[in-house]
Amino acid sequence: MKKQILQTLAGALAFLASGVALADELNMRVGVTDISRQVYDLHMTIFYICVAIGVVVFGVLFWSVFRHRKSLGAVPATFHESTKMELAWTIVPTLILIVMAVPATKVLVAMYDTGGEDMNIEVRGYQWKWQYKYLDEDYNNSFSFFSNLATPKAQIVNRSAKTENYLLEVDEHLRIPINRKVRFLVTSEDVIHAWWVPDFGIKRDAVPGMLNELWAIVETPGIYRGQCTELCGKDHGFMPIVVEAMPEAEFDAWYATKVSSEVVRQESMTKTFTHDELMVQGEGIYGTYCSSCHMANGEGVPPVFPAIAGSAVAMGPRDDHLSLVINGVSGSAMQAFGKQLDPVQLASVVHYQRHAFGNDAGDISQPQDVINLSNGQ
């Protein structure tokens, strides 16, 4: 009877253990880097050791519970110490710990093997989005973009059905090549965040004022998803991380176009644009960033979202208008766009607002004006 119970118990534990090892949704992901596989193996090793300890310890405990009960007529023994036993269960666990510490140290040392990287990407946490910046010495410049949650609000508040990658999709993926050592330099603009891609086996806090190093050599192309893992305020649950690992050639092609458009963009900072050019660019930006609140026709939704058409700001001094867009209006839904848009974009969207919807400020905004304003001139 007791034997059966014990056997069932051991069986159940073993079943649980193997179930855990097999099922994907129940266990740590094996991942797609050498490091992540090492971490997974380490995890399974310590897990099995813990299960074994559990089976032995709980086995003895339950044996005692079932056998040494008063209702079975058990008479209490009188022993209450044994130096031998006590030494044994101090030494044996210490040995088991050493067995665990050796592979753990190896993996940790491997993880700290930074240097020799093929490329560097700065990862910067913001409340509540990530910014990725490719640091490229060859071009003596770098380009960056923000990666925002792309799940529509309607899904979050249950007004439309949730799609497959609910809360794990962004407007622009971080792209990296496979088979190259990519170094991530993680930091933060405001509070502490943490950057985690489970499939790469790496996680690091993004701390303001500190630059943390991480690296990965991804072996399989694919899209890998993670989330911010350090409480960072209201929308901590809504700043996913999506990394797309691409075959090298594909990545290089993408990178080349990105860089050349970056060169063009950099050059355009010092350019002087005509009214028509600004209006065309501005209209596009207005459509992406402004029209969800201020409406495509510039009428807004007063009083929450003021109209642009006929607005005092759009008809008032140009620099006031520029600063408002750069710095936002605190305590309102109007964000500070200075961090998200570059001077060309800012100049054109402001110029557009001042000359669309029947507005006619009659002046012109150039990227240089934005730069001057931002530099406090």
Window 79-108: residues binding other proteins (CB under 8 A) = 79-82, 85-86, 89-90, 93-94, 97, 100-101, 104-105, 107-108
By the rule CB under 8 A, 230 interacts with other proteins: yes
Least separation in angstroms between residue 109's CB and other proteins is 7
First to last CA, the chain: 88
Stretch that binds other proteins, among 34-42, 305-313, 317-325, 356-364 (CB under 8 A): 34-42
Site for other proteins in 43-62 (CB under 8 A): 43, 46-47, 50, 53-54, 57-58, 60-61
Q: Is 185 in the site for other proteins (CB under 8 A)?
A: no
d(CA 202, CA 197): 6
Question: Applying CB under 8 A, which of residues 13, 55, 223, 238 lies at the interface with other proteins?
Answer: 238
Q: Which of 4, 70, 137, 140 binds other proteins (CB under 8 A)?
A: 70
Q: How far is the CB of 359 from other proteins (least distance, A)?
A: 36
Q: How far apart are CA 176 and CA 145, in angstroms?
A: 14
Size of the site for other proteins (CB under 8 A): 92
Kindly write out the interface string for residues 145-174 of this chain, putting x where it contacts other proteins by CB under 8 A and - elsewhere. Answer: ----------xxxx---x-xxxxx------
Q: Which of 1, 3, 4, 71 binds other proteins (CB under 8 A)?
A: 71
Query: What is the C-alpha separation between 126 and 191, in angstroms, rounded?
Result: 8
Buried b (16+ CB within 10 A) or exposed e, 38-77: bbbebebeeeeeebeeebeeeeeeeeeeeeeeeeeeeeee
Q: Between β-strands 119-126 and 129-136, what pairing exists: parallel, antiparallel or unpaired?
A: antiparallel
> Residues 58, 116: contact at Cβ < 8 Å?
no
**Contacting residue, 33, 38, 147, 281, with other proteins by CB under 8 A:** 38
For residue 103, the minimal CB distance to other proteins (Å) is 9
Taking the complex as a whole, how short is the minimal distance between the CB of residue 20 and other proteins, in angstroms?
8
CB of 177 to other proteins, least distance (A): 23
Task: Please state, in angstroms and rounded to a whole number, the distance separating the CA atoms of residues 150 and 225.
Answer: 13
| Mask for 190-229, x = binds other proteins (CB under 8 A) | xxx-x-x-x--xxxxx-xxxx-xx------------xxxx
The 8-class DSSP code of residue 356 comes to S
Question: Which residues, numbered 283-312, are part of the site for other proteins (CB under 8 A)?
Answer: none
Half-sphere exposure of residue 188: CA atoms within 13 angstroms, side-chain side: 19
Q: Does 17 bind other proteins (CB under 8 A)?
A: no
Separation between Cα atoms, residue 42 and residue 47, nearest integer Å = 8
Provide the CB-side half-sphere exposure for 291 (13 A, CA): 12
Smallest separation, CB 186 to other proteins (Å): 8
Distance CA 332, CA 46 (A): 51
Residue 232 engages other proteins in binding (rule: CB under 8 A)? yes
C-alpha to C-alpha distance for 213 and 208, rounded to whole angstroms: 14
Q: Give yes or no for residue 313 binding other proteins (CB under 8 A).
A: no
Minimum distance from CB of 86 to other proteins (Å)?
5
The three-state (H, E, C) secondary structure of 10-43, written as one string: HHHHHHHHHHHHHCCCCCCCCCCEHHHHHHHHHH
Question: Could you tell me the smallest distance in angstroms from the CB atom of residue 27 to other proteins?
Answer: 5
DSSP helix/strand/coil, 153: helix
Q: Is the peptide bond before 317 cis (omega within 30 degrees of 0)?
A: no
